[in-house]
Structure 1
């Protein structure tokens, strides 16, 4: 087990590789049928929508990784697209990943029914399935590079997807997403890459429980009690990269001195899209899978 600040993320480990790591979808090589913007689907007799952001110079012969970004409760997809809960305005588009991706990924901002991921009758699972099918059929997608990222209630749903749709996902990123997966009966035992980010002043026991769920699931051999900054210490966040996990299925854990913030920063008191460490950590986590 190692601990470090995100400033030294570049020094942590090497790229994770798997055999057959590239899996081109049916949409590769076809004429483009989807463009950036709001898309609508009928799922379980309800109209659902999401915002799609394609690379500026999208190449239909290149399989792209895909990142789904799940907004929190009482919000909508526009919060994800515009980053409107974080200042300065526009600094946290698609959880701050859009500028870091540099046109190397397809970004998806799903919209919840009634502003929350209640998943009644598995309708949100079905929504994810329908979006992924539409993307894979109409675009060139690397089906071994699908990621799910969420904040708060969206983080809880991202966890649920990692339980129920493990075969479709390469990794999951949970930002202040609370405790273990709710209703996990029948949860897949398949390992999945995981990054858990949680504030020590935001019910940290829930973040630890989420972390430990993936530590166990991925068979990591190191202890589950890494260092964390003290509450109100204004100490830097601490990144732990677990060791001994199943090959190709890392578990990273970031504890920060703060509360329920989407874009925390060291020594800060809220969301700041220019100073936050979460986008760099999330993008580093995603791009280790080569």
Structure 2
């Protein structure tokens, strides 16, 4: 039996595989560096005193939760996991629901972006002025990746989406 990439089970399997890849690694400890070749500009820079929670994108203030490991060091490349919520739960609720941070066996930054509310009050990933069915908030993703990469040491070959 083959599974089409458009079948719902494909999405569930893909999320599971990506989560496992980001959160575990055989015979590795939290102090094992990531072996990515492409590193962000934040490597070697002093880390911010506190993670940012807002970012201006296309003239709108966007919100997110960024979780930085307590033992973060700017010379240690970090994996980066984007964890997106659906239309009915906030990024804070999804953070608790996914519980990803507890399972991370490698140096990993976790970011939980917040979608925009539509006219009905539900959250959406449609960019401003896009139809609700488009669900393409690429500008927010790109801006977050760039901002986090400028502030923190990210292994750019180890960016995952859940």
The TM-score bracket by the shorter chain reads: 0.5 to 0.7
CA distance in 1, matches of 2:68, 2:40: 16
Please give the residue correspondences for 1:177-192 in structure 2 after superposition, counting only pairs within 5 Å: none
Please give the residue correspondences for 1:43-122 in structure 2 after superposition, counting only pairs within 5 Å: 43-83=57-97, 95-102=98-105, 104-114=107-117, 115-121=123-129
CA shift in 2, pair 1:98/1:112, >3 Å: same
Give unpaired runs (5+ residues) of structure 1.
84-94, 150-290
Choose between structure 1 and 2 for higher RCO, CA contacts under 8 A separated by at least 6 residues. 2
CA distance in 1, matches of 2:49, 2:81: 16
Q: For 2:160, which of 147, 171, 182 is the aligned residue? A: 147
| Number of corresponding residues | 123
CA distance in 2, matches of 1:140, 1:105: 10
1:57–1:103 contact (8 Å) kept in structure 2: no
CA distance in 1, matches of 2:40, 2:62: 23
Q: Could you say which residue in structure 1 is the equivalent of 2:120?
A: none
CA-CA distance at 1:32 after TM superposition? 0.9
- Bigger radius of gyration: 1
CA distance in 1, matches of 2:106, 2:93: 20
TM-score by length of 1: 0.39
Give unpaired runs (5+ residues) of structure 2.
2-15, 27-34, 118-122, 131-135
| Root mean square deviation of aligned Cα | 2.7
CA distance in 2, matches of 1:136, 1:32: 11
2:79–2:106 contact (8 Å) kept in structure 1: no
TM-score by length of 2: 0.67
SS for the counterpart of 1:70 is: coil
1:228-287 per-position Cα deviation (integer Å, ceiling 9, x unaligned)? xxxxxxxxxxxxxxxxxxxxxxxxxxxxxxxxxxxxxxxxxxxxxxxxxxxxxxxxxxxx
1:67–1:148 contact (8 Å) kept in structure 2: yes
